[in-house]
Every structure is written in C-alpha cells, then in structure tokens.
Amino acid sequence: MRIRPAQDADLDAVAAVYAHEVETSISTFDLVPPPRGYWQARLSSTEPGDHLLVADDDGEVLGYAYSSAYRPRPAYLRTRECSVYLAAGARGRGVGRLLYDDLLARLAADDVHTVVALVALPNDASLALHRACGFDEVGVMREVGHKHGRWVDTAWLQRMLP
C-alpha cells in the first residue's frame, strides 16, 4: 500500500467512499453525495495547503485524506481543515494513520501553522486516530447537526505544526 496524491482516475472511488458515509453515518453532515465536479475541484486546487491524497493498494483506493481552507478570510491562510475517510474494509488496519502522517508532513512543508479537524460524536475510532496523530481536543459543539433523525454533537481538534 502507498499514499500518493489523488489522480482523476481515483475520483470515482473517492466519491464512493464518501457516498457510503453520507448515506450510512454521521461522520459527514452532507445529506446527498456531492457530484463528481466537487471532487474535481478538490483535486485541481492550487492553493498552498490544499491536498487530496489516497491510500492505494495495488490500484484499489482504501481511503483518502484531504486538507482545505479553514475559513475564506486571508488571516486564516496558514490554517487548514483536514479529514480522512476510509472504505469499510480498510478500517482498523492503520490506513488512516498513514494518510494523516503523509498529509501532515505535506502541510508542514507548505508552512501551514495550524491544522483543525471536526469529528461528529460519538466516534471513538476517529478521536483515537486524531489523538494518535498529535491532535488535541479543543471543544465540543452541542447538537449542531441533525442527521438520521437525531441531533449530533461535534468535537473540534487542533494540531500545531512546527
């Protein structure tokens, strides 16, 4: 398995991983999977600190990680929000850690100062992954999302880069 920048040929697999989460979980607050153009825009971004990486196992996309703008105002340019999503069969195999380690190294090389992540609760596995990657929990927002007939809390996590 290797971690590498996503290519156009990966976008359908990336979209399928995300669509599964949209339809079955609270890990994203999207209610409808986004169109392919959404993924093409992520892939084609040239903003420093914007990345879309995939975990590739002999041509099979096991998951992906991305980073993007935290907020659209210029003072936030060196802060990036990140996330990781894994195919169901890839969980518990260290794939998320490999994706985040690579992504965080790229962000440090981009001179990003702060990385933030948002985790819908409960999600013990995601919280454990973020903590293992050096993120600290900095707050919980109560009942900010409503999905699958229930209110969902979110935890904000933050990591400072050297």
Q: Specify the CATH number for the domain of residue 93.
A: 3.40.630.30
DSSP 22-56: HHH-SSS--SSPPPHHHHHHHHH--STT-EEEEEE
Radius of gyration in angstroms for the set of CA atoms belonging to the chain, rounded to a whole number: 15
Quote the domain boundaries for residue 39. Answer: 2-160
pTM: 0.95
Mean pLDDT for back-to-back runs of 10 residues, the chain (162 residues): 97 97 96 97 95 96 97 96 96 95 98 98 97 98 97 98 92
Q: What is the pLDDT of residues 59-89, one digit of tens each?
A: 999 999 999 999 999 999 999 999 999 999 9
Site of tokens 């991983």: 17
Domains held by the chain: number: 1
